[in-house]
C-alpha cells in the first residue's frame, strides 16, 4: 500500500491515518527521539548494509569538482560526508578563480542537524558545508541553485512527496541530477516473510534494547511499507518534471536508487 491510499484530509503515519497537518510534528518527534542513535538505527534496520548502499549511491551520482549539492534529510551527514571529497575544490583551485563547490546539508529536524554538524566538527571536516533547517516541500533557495540534489532514507517521511519532488526539480540547474535512495518493495518472494519478521518482530525489540524506544522503530518499519513502490515513485518523479527517470534495485529491492534529470 502506498502513501496515496488514505482518507481525504489525512495521511499515513506508519499504519495509522492521521490529519495531514499532524504528520510533520509526529515525524519530528520520532527523529528527535532517535537523533543520537540514528546511525545505530540504520544499522539495525538494514543489518549494516546501509553503509554499502550509501557508498554506491554517492559513487554513481553525477558529481564533480566545483559542484553545488543539496542533500535533503541530511541527518547525521553520511551522504554529505561521502560527497564532500567529490565536489570540494582545493584552496589553490579556488585561488585560481574556480568555483569552490560545497554541500548544503538540509533537514527539517534541528536535532538531526546538530548531530550532523557536531559530527563534521569532530572529524575536522568543517569546510564546504552549510547547514539549513528546512522543509523539503518548500525549499528556501532560488531556482536553478544546485547541480545535484540528493535525499537518502528521507522521502518516505515527507508529508507531500509530490511537492518535495517538484521543489527538487525547481532548485536544480538544467542538466542537474536528482537522486533518491529509499527503502522500497522487496522483489524476491522467498525473502518477503523473513524481511517482514525482521521489520515487525525483531526491529522494535532492538530499538527498545539499544535505544529504549520501540515505538519509533515500529513507525519506521511501517513507513517503509507505506512508501510508494519503485514504479510508482518513478511515475511521481516524471510527473514532477524530471526526465530520463530510472531506478536500480539494491539487495533484492530492500532499497532502490531513483534518478531523474532537470531539462
d(CA 48, CA 39): 9
Backbone angles phi, psi at 152, to 5 degrees: -120, 120
The candidate with the shortest Cα–Cα distance to 69, out of 54, 56, 51, 82, is 82
103: cell is 554541500
Write down the residue that cell numbers 542537474 correspond to: 176
Burial of 219 (0-12, 13-18, 19+ CB in 10 A): buried
140: cell is 528556501
Write down the residue that cell numbers 518499519 correspond to: 221
The H-or-E segment that residue 89 falls in is: none
The H-or-E segment that residue 257 falls in is: strand 255-261
150 known member of a binding site: no
135 known member of a binding site: yes
Q: Residue positions in the annotated binding site for S-adenosyl-L-methionine? A: 76, 107, 135-136
Binding residues: 76, 107, 135-136
Amino acid at each position: 500500500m502506498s502513501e496515496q491510499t488514505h482518507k481525504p484530509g489525512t495521511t499515513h503515519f506508519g499504519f495509522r491515518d492521521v490529519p495531514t497537518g499532524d504528520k510533520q510534528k509526529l515525524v519530528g518527534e520520532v527523529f528527535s527521539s532517535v537523533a543520537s542513535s540514528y546511525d545505530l538505527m540504520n544499522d539495525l534496520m538494514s543489518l549494516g548494509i546501509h553503509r554499502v548502499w550509501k557508498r554506491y549511491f554517492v559513487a554513481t551520482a553525477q558529481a564533480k569538482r566545483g559542484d553545488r549539492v543539496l542533500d535533503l534529510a541530511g541527518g547525521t551527514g553520511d551522504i554529505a560526508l561521502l560527497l564532500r571529497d567529490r565536489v570540494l575544490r582545493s584552496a589553490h583551485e579556488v585561488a585560481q578563480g574556480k568555483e569552490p563547490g560545497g554541500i548544503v546539508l538540509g533537514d527539517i529536524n534541528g536535532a538531526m542537524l546538530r548531530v550532523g554538524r557536531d559530527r563534521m566538527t569532530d572529524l575536522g571536516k568543517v569546510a564546504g558545508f552549510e547547514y539549513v533547517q528546512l522543509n523539503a516541500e518548500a525549499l528556501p533557495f532560488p531556482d536553478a541553485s544546485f547541480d545535484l540534489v540528493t535525499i537518502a532514507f528521507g522521502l518516505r517521511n515527507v508529508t507531500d512527496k509530490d511537492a518535495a519532488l517538484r521543489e527538487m526539480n525547481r532548485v536544480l540547474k538544467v542538466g542537474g541530477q536528482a537522486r533518491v535512495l529509499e527503502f522500497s518493495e522487496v522483489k524476491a518472494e522467498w525473502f518477503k516473510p523473513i524481511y517482514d519478521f525482521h521489520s515487525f518482530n525483531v526491529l522494535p525489540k532492538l530499538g527498545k534494547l539499544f535505544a529504549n524506544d520501540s515505538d519509533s522503530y515500529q513507525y519506521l518499519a511501517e513507513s517503509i511499507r507505506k512508501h510508494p513502490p519503485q514504479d510508482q515513485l518513478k511515475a511521481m518523479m516524471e510527473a514532477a518534471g524530471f526526465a530520463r527517470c530510472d531506478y536500480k534495485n539494491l539487495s533484492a529491492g530492500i532499497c532502490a536508487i531513483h534518478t531523474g534529470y532537470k531539462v
